[in-house]
Every structure is written in structure tokens, then in C-alpha cells.
Amino acid sequence: MTTAAAPSAQGPWLARARSFLFVPADRLERLPKALASGADAVIVDLEDAVAPAAKAGARLALASAWGGLDAPQRARLVLRVNAASTTWHEDDLALLAQLPGLAGVMLAKAESAVPLQRLAERQPGLGLLPLIESADGLLNLSAIAAAPQVLRLALGHIDLQADLGMACSPDEHELLPARWQLVLVSRGARLAPPVDGVTVALDQPGLTEADTLRSRRLGFGAKLCIHPNQVAAVHRALAPSEAERAWAQRVLAAAEAAGDGPGAGALRVDGRMVDAPVLALARRWLSASEPV
């Protein structure tokens, strides 16, 4: 398995991460494998993956294990905490003081800016990833995105379907408006591109890749993963194809040869007009080809 490079900085790196792999907080023996999977970030999950009776023990185990992790490992870890409306939320937040070097916090079932503001006050500088899983989360999306220390939005589309009473088809086209809303609001708030939801099939990398290609077409920049074998498929799908990279290189070479800057006039490349927005797209594709 491939080990991801150590991040150079917590905030900006977490905003560039493409893959977020879940590990249950009560199954920390899986953490070394998750860190060695090539995933850009690993989410230690205190919410749905941990039964209510096991949550207190999971917190103690994580605090105990933290000293055995080095700084680069800690800087790739995100903690998913229980929703602010639950009885476990405050105990989850208290745990944060025992986790120096943590990359960020994912707030489950984020439905308003208030718990995010409280989190930011309690943990200044820590990157926050609100997980949008309900109608209230969608309705308050702009306020959530504008909360302090929010780096990017994430979609919990399984819970969202349940909350809205949806019965989605396999291609989930019914969720396109919700996905588009996350992309639009993220851009309006000048956040990093959002993180798309999981693919529940564990042994179908082709489906994971197809789902991630849809994510990329919509403007997402990352995806949640529930198994290490999904990580490579996510990275492949989010990266520009060889043809796209070659096209971007030709576009930028033509612009350089013409002495054109980022805001210069139109060029002709491969029989197509190339102007400032197309140059920006070419730069974005080549940037996306670089490792995180």
C-alpha cells in the first residue's frame, strides 16, 4: 500500500485533500492500515460507527493512543464528533484538548452555524468540516459555510435521503440539486471544493470511480471513503485524464509563446478558441495533477 505524503500545513493541506477515509474510534487497530492506505486524510469516527455504549471507551482509547502517533500522522487525522443535539457532543469536544496536532473536526449533522462558532471559540485555528445530512443543514447552508474556521463542506447523502424521505435510484440523480447547492455555496463562501458522500459498495472500485467522476463533473474536490480499497479509485477519478493534461499543457504553452498573461486575449489551440477562463481551467487541471 502507498503511504500519503506528510502534509506541509494543516489548514491549507486539509483544504486540498482528495480522500477522507473513515475509521471507527473503537477500532483503532485499523488506524495503521488506514494511514498506510494512501488516503490523504483519515477520519476517526465517534459518531455512527460507534455504538452508544462504546463511545466513552472509544474516547479513552483514542486519548491513550494519541501519544504513539507522530506529528505527520496526527496532521492527517480528522475527528468526527457527534451532533450538537446529542448527549455525547460535549464529551467529544472535551476530548479535543487531549489531541494536539489534530488536523480538523468534522461535525456530524451540522444544521446551523451556532455549534461551529462554539467549536471555533473552543479550538481556535482548528479546521472545521460541517457534514450536511438533513433538510435543516441544506436550508442553513450559507450560514454554515460562513462560520469561522470552516474549511470545506461535506455531504452525508445517506442520512439526507432518510431525512427527506427520498427513495433514490442507483445513479442518485435525485440528489443532483443538493450536490450542486454544496458546490455553489462553497464557491460563494470562498471555501475549498466540497467533499462528496460515500459509495456504500465495498468491493466495486468501478462504482466508486464512476461515483467520483460524477463528483468531479459537479465541482466536488474530494470524497468520503469507507474502505481502503476505495482510495485509489477516488484519486484516479478526481485527477485529470492524460488527454486533459496534454491539452492543458498545449494551451499553456501556446499562451506562453504568445506572451499572454492570465487575463490576456484569445488564442487558437487545436482549432478552438482559448481565452482567460479556458487558461484558468488549464492551470486548474495541471494543479490537480500534482500530488497533495
Q: Domain locations in the chain?
A: 10-238, 242-288
List pLDDT tens digits, range 16-27.
999 999 999 999
Q: How far is CA 259 from CA 64, 203, 256, 266, 280, in A?
A: 58, 50, 5, 12, 16
Average pLDDT over residues 17-44: 97
Return the closest-CA partner of residue 92 out of 124, 118, 71, 125.
118
Q: What length is written for the chain?
A: 292
Contact 137, 116 (CB under 8 A): no
Whole-angstrom Cα distance, residue 208 to residue 228? 12
118, with CB counted inside 10 A (0-12, 13-18, 19+), is: middle
List pLDDT tens digits, range 242-253.
777 776 677 777
- Cβ burial 241-278 (10 Å sphere, 16+ → b, else e): eeebbebbeebbebbeeeebeeeeeebebeeeebeeeb
8, with CB counted inside 10 A (0-12, 13-18, 19+), is: exposed
| pLDDT at residue 183 in the model | 98
**Domain 10-238 annotated CATH 1.10.10.10:** no
Contact 107, 128 (CB under 8 A): yes
What letter does residue 220 receive in the DSSP assignment?
Answer: -
pLDDT higher for 101 or 245?
A: 101
Q: How confident is the model at residue 291 (pLDDT cuts 50, 70, 90)?
A: low
- Cβ burial 173-200 (10 Å sphere, 16+ → b, else e): eebeebbebbbebbeebebbbbbbbbbe
| pLDDT at residue 260 in the model | 56
| pLDDT at residue 277 in the model | 74
- DSSP 3-state assignment of 40? coil
Q: Does the structure show a pLDDT above 50 at 2?
A: no
Q: How far is CA 25 from CA 49, 127, 151, 250, in A?
A: 8, 19, 23, 47
Average pLDDT over residues 88-102: 97
Number of other CB atoms surrounding residue 80 within 10 Å: 25
Contact 216, 176 (CB under 8 A): no
Q: Does the structure show a pLDDT above 60 at 231?
A: yes
